[in-house]
Amino acid sequence: MSYYGAHWRIDGVTAAFIMRGDRNGRYRIVFERESAELPQIESINWAQPSVERLTEAGEFGLPEGYGFELVKITYDSAVKSYTVEVKTARQYLGDVTGYQAQVEALSNTLAAREQQVEELLASSTAAAEAELRAAYTEGVEHNG
């Protein structure tokens, strides 16, 4: 008999619920024994887990984009469930090759625009200098 139900699936292992731990960056995940056995729980890749929500309940779950370290697994025989405590280890971003290509393209565009600005500035500066010299020469010749 299930006490908590199935709300999450982590690397294919059904979990009852996820709650924040007593310290920052810590989380507790409850797995009922009828849905998950200890070897299944131990086989979860906590460094980069695949987390799937099974219900529409407003639970927070694990933060996306993080890897975790397994702190401990405890068993409660009264409710026949395992409680897994994990802590955040490092953040991962997944496949970022698309973003890298986008950043490179934008960097190239920026470099081209900077070159255009420098060329415009140089040509307008040269034109302004030529106009000033012509005005000076005309003033000197006219006023002598």
pLDDT in tens, 98-137: 888 888 899 999 999 999 999 888 888 888 888 888 888 8
Residues 34 and 85 in one domain: yes
**Domain limits for position 66:** 8-91
Of the candidates 81, 70, 79, the residue with the CA atom closest to the CA atom of residue 26: 70
Measured between alpha carbons, how far is residue 27 from residues 39, 69, 84, 129 in Å?
A: 20, 10, 8, 69
Task: Say what the pTM is.
Answer: 0.61
Per the domain annotation, does 116 fall within a domain?
Answer: yes
Residues 67 and 36 in one domain: yes
Bridge pairing between strands 81-91 and 17-20: unpaired
Residues 83 and 139 in one domain: no
Looking at residue 10, its amino acid is I
pLDDT in tens, 4-38: 888 999 999 999 999 998 888 899 999 999 999 99
